[in-house]
Structure 1
Amino acid sequence: MGERGSPNDPAPARTIHMPTGPSFMTVTLLDAILFAIMLVSALLAMVRGFSREILSVVSWLVAAAAAFFFYKPLTPYAAEYIASDTVAMVAAAAAIFLVVLIIVSFITLRIADFIIDSRIGALDRTLGFIFGAVRGLLLVVVAMLFFNWLAPENQPDWIAGARSKPFLDNLGQQLVAALPDNPEEVILDSIRGPQDADGVPEGTATPGEPTSIEGVIEGTDTPAQPAN
């Protein structure tokens, strides 16, 4: 029979194998930045309340929609004081946006204050904390998308080796996949409006066509015929 070790003999040392390679990532500055942004955003949203945060977003959306749909009637008035048509159009849209934003924000602020002071105020603040954390996460995801686009290779170790890097990249890819194939064209098409088969925006007069009812009656918009 083999010899048994004495109970007083030291136990054999165990070898601990630490994982290596890209699968083993440590907490880096990027993880700390992500945590800090999410925490600050969550605390701010908790203080303001979920209803105020949502209504604030609604106010911006309403102001943007008002500027998008109503800038054309105001552009001629702005053009009386601004020489450039493009600058006049931008000024008209900006004026509508600011006025509507101030009015809608005043209304939504009163609604949010009423909700916070009600019995569901605690729930409103809890939901605000969650909303703020998600908002902070999305901010970092979008920032990481731009960083990956600007520097796809040779990224600093505190970014490439962060624990949150794969998670942020995965969320960023999902956001990009949710966008249309050509977002620039979609935005430009919505601004230009519907077009006819020739690619000319509907309502745009072609050469030789009158541009108004007065032009049809008086013939002022009809181009002059060259003399023979």
Structure 2
Amino acid sequence: MAFTWVDWSIIALIAVSGLISLTRGFVREALSLLVWIVAGAVAWLYGGALAGYLAPYIELPSARVIAACAILFVLTLMVGALLTHLLGALVQATGLTGTDRLLGMVFGLARGALLVVIGVGLLSLAPVQQDPWWQQSVLLPDFLMIADWSKNVVLGFFQQSTNAGGLPGRVAFPL
């Protein structure tokens, strides 16, 4: 079966992610990933608390929570980007070699594949699986299988940590 435009788009996304990481290096990419994880955790843990303060401005409760999580996520990303830039400049001043860039490329390829897995997982929630472009794709079934497996692992993790005595409405991160 020949690759479709969807398959080439997947390959392009992974390749672009790898090339960006090749130029930035592993240290900056690892710090960037850490910032994204922290931003997600901050939004998850404190979005509900901030939503209460948005009640006078946003009437719909679900919209309040979404707005609060988005605000916290973006603000954390902005602070993290500043710190990543400063630490990246410090690392660059030390004169790390091409190994940092090569490891960065591998990291970027993995990140690109992860983005595809997340995108495919989210798209699978919509009624797109009957569309011709979805059915004719060579790569989508593999990424969908990984997305389903990942969903089960993540949901199992959160189920275990919620049952482990965490605070009501919050996930008890085992760190």
Q: CA deviation at 1:106?
A: 2.5
Q: What is the alpha-carbon root mean square deviation over aligned residues?
A: 4.0
Measured after TM superposition, the shift of residue 118 of structure 1 is 3.1
Contact 1:49 1:116 (8 Å CA) reproduced: no
User: Could you say if the C-alpha distance between residues 122 and 193 of structure 1 is closer, same or farther in structure 2, counting changes exceeding 3 Å?
Assistant: closer
Structure number, greater radius of gyration? 1
Residue 50 of structure 1, CA deviation: 1.7
Report the CA distance shift for 1:175/1:190 in structure 2 as closer, same or farther (over 3 A). Answer: farther
Query: TM-score, length-normalised on structure 2?
Result: 0.67
Q: Equivalents in 2 of 1:148, 1:92: separation in Å? A: 24
- How much has 1:34 moved relative to structure 2? 1.0
- What secondary structure does 2:109 align onto? helix
1:193 is displaced (CA, Å) by 5.3
Are the equivalent residues in 1 in contact too, given 2:47–2:68 (CA < 8 A)? no
Residue 54 (str. 1) matches residue 44 (str. 2): no
Quickly say closer, same or farther: Cα 1:191–1:53, change in 2 above 3 A.
farther
Whichever residue aligns with residue 112 of structure 1, its letter is G
Q: For the residues of structure 1 that align with 2:81 and 2:37, how far apart are their CA atoms?
A: 11
Cα 1:65–1:120, aligned 2, differ >3 Å: closer, same or farther?
same
Q: CA deviation at 1:104?
A: 4.0
Partner of 1:180: 155
Q: 1:180 to 1:26 in 2, by over 3 A?
A: same
- CA 1:101–1:177: 2 relative to 1, 3 Å: closer
| 1:57-136 alignment runs, 5 A limit | 57-65=33-41, 68=45, 82=56, 94=71, 98=75, 101-136=77-112
Q: Number of paired residues?
A: 163
1:166 CA drift (Å): 2.9
Alpha-carbon distance in 2 for matches of 1:159, 1:35: 15
Counterpart residue number, 2:2: 26
Normalised to the residue count of structure 1, the TM-score between the two structures is 0.54
Partner of 2:169: 192
Instruction: Report if the CA contact (8 A) 1:71-1:96 is conserved.
Output: no
Unaligned stretches of 5+ residues in structure 2: none
Query: What are the Cα deviations for residues 65-100 of structure 1, in whole angstroms up to 9, with x where unaligned?
Result: 55635985x899x58x94779759x669946972x5
Q: Per the alignment, in what secondary structure is the counterpart of residue 150 of structure 1?
A: coil
| CA apart distance, 1:136 | 1.4
Give unpaired runs (5+ residues) of structure 1.
1-24, 195-228
How far did residue 128 of structure 1 move? 1.4
Which residue of 2 is the match for residue 39 of structure 1?
15
Structure 1 position 160 matched with structure 2 position 135: yes
Q: 1:102 to 1:128 in 2, by over 3 A?
A: same
Query: Contact 1:71–1:93 (CA<8 Å) still a contact in 2?
Result: no
Which amino acid in 2 is paired with 1:192? G
Deviating 4+ runs (over 6 angstroms) = 83-86
String of CA shifts for 1:184-227, please: whole Å, max 9, x gaps: 9x88x856359xxxxxxxxxxxxxxxxxxxxxxxxxxxxxxxxx
Structure number with the bigger relative contact order (C-alpha 8 A, sep ≥ 6) is 2
